[in-house]
Amino acid sequence: MIGMLGPSAPPQVCGGLAVPMVAFDQLYSFSREELIDGIPRPEGQREDTFRDSAGELFDLIGQVADNAGATDEHRALNYLAVRYHGIYAKAAEAHAAEASLTGVEVRPSRLSGARNIMDVIFSYTNRRTDVGERYFVRVDVTEEFPFLLTKLSPYYER
């Protein structure tokens, strides 16, 4: 759902619950399986391996605590989960190279200024060597509809 979060509805309207009201501009409806089936599988990836890796990443993003899409961090993650297949391709590639996803971090970009730009960093650790690799994307969340600024690239801490 993409829209604007409003005030809480009165408890008498929602069976005693104070539920936030939402005015939406776009509404998407799909199951987890439909989303994963719709992600283009990278060439050379086995379908079952790709589906497992993509599902694991989607589940991890979905488990972020209290993700109602109300913060810039959550909006960036939600956008990537449903709109950017590059993160799923990287997860499958890392899995095939015996690496596991060990973290997803979202932080304001140093490029933020007049725009709200978030860096989303994915960390992978090789299961045999414990060597880590990090990749990131930049997402502009300034306005109602987030958009990708940079494709998935290696991340280097400064």
Q: Which residue ranges make up each domain of the chain?
A: 31-154
Residues of the chain with pLDDT under 70: 65
pLDDT digits (tens, 9 = 90+) for 8-44: 888 887 888 877 777 778 887 888 899 899 988 888 8
**Which pLDDT score is estimated for 65?**
60
Q: Could you tell me the pTM of the whole model?
A: 0.85
- What is the sign of the dihedral through the CA atoms of 104, 106, 110 and 112? positive
**Angstrom distances, CA of residue 28 to CA of 56, 94, 113, 146, 155:** 21, 29, 31, 15, 31
DSSP alpha helix (H) spans, the chain: 32-38, 47-62, 72-83, 86-96
